[in-house]
Structure 1
Amino acid sequence: MAKFIEYLRGKESRPGEAALLRKLDFFILTFCCLMYFANYLDRSNLANAYVSGMKEDLNFKGSQFNQINTIFTVGYILGQVPSNLALQYIKPRIFFPGMMLVWGGLTMVTAAVKNPQGIMAIRFFLGLAESSTFVGTHYILGSWYTERELGKRSGIFTASGLAGTMFGEFIQTGIISSLHGARGNTGLAIDGLITVPIALYGLFLFPDTPATTTAPYLTAEDRALAMARVPERGAERTRLDWAFARRVFGSWHWYGFVMLWVIAGETESFSTNSLLALYMKAHPTRRYTVAQNNNYPSGVPAVGIVSTLFWATLTDFLGGKRYLVGFWIAVTGVATSAMILAPGASTATVFGAYYWAGSVYACQATFFAWANDVMRYRDDALRSVVIASMNMGSNVINAWWSIVFYPADTAPYFTRGMWAMIACSIAMAVWTGGVLYMAEREKKQTQRAVVDKGEDEKV
């Protein structure tokens, strides 16, 4: 226990490192977490507005709600790799706030739309703008933090998005209760306004990357130490040509980590597709109030926050054993699906299954940290493409997965989706083992190469 407490406090291995980490944590994590909070607040509040009156106000039919989510996902997919590569050419302190202002404006416009078709058009461009946040931040975190530090920071960042989901539900409830007669989508206008001060904060104080930072709070010694803490990958910018493309697609990292996140993304389906809210809306015997429809599902991201921070911290402490989360996901997915599929499952059992399933959110922080760890000695452009492709691949499947397996008109039990979840969970265990094997094999090959090089130099 004493060793674990010492780990949580952090230990300075170089003079000035503790002070540098405090600065980095404050300015990088505060901006990235606030940005991701606002990002998830926007996404979750469309579902909150839907169950709070927007469905009736705008006369939604059939699976139009799912179609809106799919169109958003298409825009989100198309922006992944270009957004991360843009960080090689545009300073993050300019690119991130710029994208925030775009999506904030689009969110405010959404509040005034009169029909589902208008929302569909806006959400496509909103997806393009928001594509920069998640993968871009994981790329930045991997640029500043070491293997021993990365899991915790990735976990804190991911938890901030889940907090946006959770607080969005409370914000929506507050709007409905305090503004008598307000429409369900009023909260979207407030979400858009929240982005403005966060974007301005990032524009003036985000530190970019160790090699390009001009942050006023980092001294020359801080900048030198920051560059010494991460592997040197060369000063020249990688050329984005066919040779680079062949190198990406010829690497096991691209296939291994993209498929890992594709599977993991679908094991998050219980939470990301707002299934508990839809279950409550279509409950066969109970009718829930607007406040209950918004507040009860907040337990899912709350569990996700605790699980994310627990697993991120634990895997750092255990020396980067991120693969443990993959096996936890497999057990959770099979068990929670079986609970919901069980004949005569009570409402309490179904609620318990959805809350437990929220723990699967832990894979967001740990799997992207795992990818950063394994590719730490690869060039930045390759790392950025693999990280972006992970999220892109997952969202390619998300674009149609909810329509096929979780359409709103199959609520409350989503039987087809439960069986799909069991299949994904089994695949998760198998693929995690495969990625672990490849990573360990590469690590041993690298170690042997270092030893052989040392022997050659002695001769």
Structure 2
Amino acid sequence: MTMAVKSAWRRVRHFVWGEEPKTKEEQRLLLKIDWFILSYCCLMYFTNYLDRSNVANAYVSGMEEELHMYGNEYNKINTLFTCGYIVGMIPNNLMLQVVSPRIWLPTMQIVWGVFTFCSSSVSNVQQLYAIRFLQGLSESSTFVGTHYILGAWYKSGELGKRSGIFTCSGLIGTLFSGILQAAVYQHLNGIAGRSGWRWLFIIDGVITLPIALYGFLVFPDVPTTTRAFYLTEEERLLSADRLENDEGRDVSHAKPSWNLVRRVLGRWRWYGCSLLFLISGETESFGSNNLMGQWLKAIGGYTVEQIDYYPSGMTAFAIASTLLCATWTDATRSRARWPVLVYMSISVVISSICILVWRSPIGLKFFAYYLAGASYAGQATTFAWANQICADDDQERAIVLASMNMWNNVINAWWPLVFYPATDAPRFTKGMWAMIGTAIATLLVTAIVYYLEQREKRVKHRRDDREEIVETDEKKEYEGSFHQ
């Protein structure tokens, strides 16, 4: 009975937390890096998303009226943020190979925290345009930078769950922003002559800066360069050794070389992975454009607090979907990531159809918006998949991860203006048809990437088999000549 219980516990642990460490030393190392890497990365991304979401919450909580915004100016704010995000993406990820990540990531966090404080004092929308562009430039360091760091520390069987936890920390930031804005509006609106939405920016800035200081203290860089005080010399060596034995992982962390462009553009990985997130990332438009909040405000009958609170249901479902899907992909023997993208695509198609049928009950529309939270499940899975695909080339991995998010944000720069303008609220008819098309395209590209990955594995296995045969023949020939 005891053995049966232990066996069941191992299966549960494997499902919940991924591949079990082989030794007690590796288990102790994994606990340390889980605590220090995930604690800082998740807190950093929490504030990152908190600072991104606050504009959406501020817009429906009085900023529109106070800054005399009209037409699609709200969409332009998001577009300028996205432009800054695009410009900073690849440079930020390359800087992680030149400057210590322990220095670079917290420094960028301080920069965007200062800009968050500045947002509380704007007197017109043009000032907010400039601030949001610069904020996007600094915030672009966080998402792809963290996925690069996760891929540098975790094995493929550990990566999905950690990527999921990281993604959820951003979603919790979105969830918390709505709850925080409702509380701020209720208790601080008008205090010291400031509107509630202005206080939101101040509080977000206050939350951001201490977390950056925590990063300076505890973030461990990457295995080959880490000098973290909490890792012994044996653990530093083990952190690199265990990855070298994981599907030929490249842990060199060398500075960018001149043949990097040739390597990146000469393989399918950059094209396939970039295209995959370029398209699949647009399924998140329900949440990233706060469509539910705009819908509630446009149809009327809801208080400011309700407009801030109710979209949190979508975020809550996004968190549940992300964690469950990431856990499942790590637990499978094949580490297959593609089924998550199928689940996500089907969910957003159902949501879009429910919203397109305008005479459907309000309750069904609530269900549709909440179900659309499934779109976020693909984010962690897609980047874990890219980390897995590019595991054998550290520099290529950095470029591919950054490019995936960059190209998605190139689309984000104009996509909401065309398909989700604020003037289309509450129906967003064009947007719902665009969402259905995006989901179908996601399924197609997912199939292409899966096929290319499997073909590359087959070619590699055949090459390895040939090399093994050649080595065996040479060994036999040598042994034969020696005996003669």
The interval holding the TM-score normalised by the smaller chain is over 0.9
1:358 counterpart letter in structure 2: G
Whether contact under 8 Å (2:182, 2:309) holds in the other structure is yes
Identical-residue share of aligned pairs (%) = 49
Match of 1:330 in 2: 345
Q: Which range moved further: 148-157 or 334-343?
A: 334-343
Where does residue 94 of structure 2 map in the other structure?
Answer: 85
Q: C-alpha distance in 2, partners of 1:235/1:418?
A: 45
Report the equivalent of 1:119: 128
Unpaired runs of 5+ in structure 1? none
* CA–CA distance in structure 2, aligned partners of residues 348 and 90 of structure 1: 51
Q: Paired residue for 1:187, among 200, 216, 219?
A: 200
Q: Deviations over 1:130-151 (max 9, x none)?
A: 0000000000000000011000
- Measure the CA separation in 2 of the matches of 1:234 and 1:446: 20
> Partner residue of 1:265?
281
Query: What is the 5 A alignment of 1:193-272?
Result: 193-231=206-244, 233=250, 235=252, 237-241=254-258, 243-272=259-288
Q: Which residue of 2 aligns with 1:305?
A: 319
CA RMSD of aligned residues (A): 1.3
8 Å contact kept, 1:266–1:398: yes
> Which whole-Å CA distance do the structure 2 matches of 1:409 and 1:233 have between them?
49
Q: Which residue of 1 aligns with 2:362?
A: 347
For each residue in 1:146-167, what CA deviation from the matched residue of structure 2 results, as whole angstroms up to 9, or x when unmatched?
A: 0110001000000000000000
User: 1:5 maps to which residue?
Assistant: 12
Q: Residue 101 of structure 1 aligns to a residue in which SS?
A: helix
Which segments of structure 1 move beyond 4 Å, counting only runs of 4 or more? Answer: none
Larger CA Rg, structure 1 vs 2: 2
CA distance 1:22–1:234, shift in 2 (3 Å):
closer
Aligned length: 455
Distance (Å, rounded) in 2 between the aligned partners of 1:419 and 1:236? 44
CA pair 75-240 structure 1, distance change in 2 beyond 3 A? farther
- Equivalent position of 2:481 in the other structure: none
Q: Which residues in structure 2 correspond to 1:40-189 (within 5 Å)?
A: 40-181=49-190, 182-183=194-195, 184-189=197-202
Look up the match of 1:24.
Answer: 33
Deviations along 1:78-108, one digit per CA (max 9) or x if unpaired, are 0000000000011111001100000000010
CA separation in 2, counterparts of 1:86 and 1:329?
Answer: 33
Q: What is the CA distance between 1:236 and its match in structure 2?
A: 7.5
**Which stretch has the larger CA shift, 342-351 or 135-144?**
342-351
TM-score (norm 1): 0.97
CA distance in 1, matches of 2:466, 2:238: 29
Unmatched 5+ residue regions in structure 2?
1-6, 474-484
1:116 shift after superposition: 0.5
TM-fit CA distance, 1:61: 0.9
Per-residue CA distance 1:36-77 (angstroms, 9 max, x = gap) = 000000111111111111111111111000000000000000
Aligned mates of 2:384, 2:67 — CA distance in 1: 41
Asked if 1 retains the 8 angstrom alpha-carbon contact of 2:348 and 2:374, the reply is no
Contact 1:50 1:185 in 2 (8 A): no
Deviation at 1:15, TM superposition (A): 4.2
Match of 2:410 among 380, 393, 396: 396
Q: Distance in 1 between matches of 2:366 and 2:114?
A: 36
When the two structures are superposed, what TM-score results if normalisation uses the length of structure 2?
Answer: 0.92
